[in-house]
């Protein structure tokens, strides 16, 4: 599932711009919506993607997930794929309260940065996340979809190289932790 609304709420300037007065209500509405959509899907593995929304390699919002991290524990899903490689995500400190019964899909590739990560950078991002979430509950993913289009330019070779670096890092980490 994709829940861009919840992650947008972490940015105070976004809330002000959109006239959001009761952020707690908005967070509760998002949790309730996800839970209604997933009701009855007990045998399915469900992942929710959270990001700061992007267009033309720029984020619409920025900020730490601290405001919403507790709410994630109330969603009836298994995994959260969270944009965390970009500096706009506010860092990893919010993960100190990441739900202990959920899997973290760690955004380990910054799709807004044209520089291609090397496996060592991805490994460092994972090692930093390990301060908060154990290895057995971390999977790797890019921050967000690359979504190349005329409205959102993204070089396919760049995407391939970034994903290759992530896969190489995943193999190194798998060997290390197996």
Q: Which domain holds residue 55?
A: 4-177
* CATH number of the domain bearing residue 154: 3.20.20.210
Tokens of 71: 């709410």
Full-model pTM: 0.92
Angle at 50 between CA 52 and CA 102, to 5 degrees: 150
* Structural domain count, the chain: 1
pLDDT digits 0-9 by tens, 109-127: 998 888 999 999 999 999 9
**Residue ranges in 1-43 assigned as alpha helix (H):** 4-8, 12-18, 23-38
Are 98 and 104 spatial neighbours (Cβ–Cβ below 8 Å)? yes
CA 52, chain centre distance (Å): 9
Residue 57: beta bridge partners? none
Vertex 124, ends 82 and 148: CA angle to 5°?
Answer: 45
Residue-wise pLDDT for 65-112, tens only, equals 999 999 999 999 999 999 999 888 889 999 999 999 999 999 999 988
- Look-up of token digits 């007990």: 42
User: Could you tell me if 169 and 126 are in contact, meaning their C-beta atoms sit under 8 angstroms apart?
Assistant: yes
pLDDT of 148 > 80? The answer is: no
């Amino acid at each position: 599932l994709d829940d861009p609304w919840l992650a947008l709420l972490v940015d105070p300037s976004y809330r002000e711009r959109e006239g959001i007065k009761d952020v707690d209500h908005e967070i509760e509405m998002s949790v309730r919506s996800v839970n209604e959509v997933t009701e009855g899907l007990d045998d399915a593995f469900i992942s929710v993607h959270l990001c700061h929304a992007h267009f033309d390699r720029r984020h619409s919002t920025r900020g730490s997930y601290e405001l919403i991290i507790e709410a994630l524990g109330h969603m009836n899903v298994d995994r959260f794929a969270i944009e965390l490689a970009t500096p706009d995500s506010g860092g990893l400190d919010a993960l100190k309260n990441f739900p202990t019964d959920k899997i973290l899909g760690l955004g380990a590739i910054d799709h807004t940065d044209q520089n291609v990560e090397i496996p060592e950078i991805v490994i460092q991002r994972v090692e930093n996340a390990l301060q908060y979430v154990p290895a057995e509950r971390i999977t790797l993913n890019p921050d967000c979809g690359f979504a190349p289009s005329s409205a959102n330019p993204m070089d396919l070779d760049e995407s391939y190289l970034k994903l290759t670096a992530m896969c190489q890092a995943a193999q190194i980490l798998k060997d290390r932790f197996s």
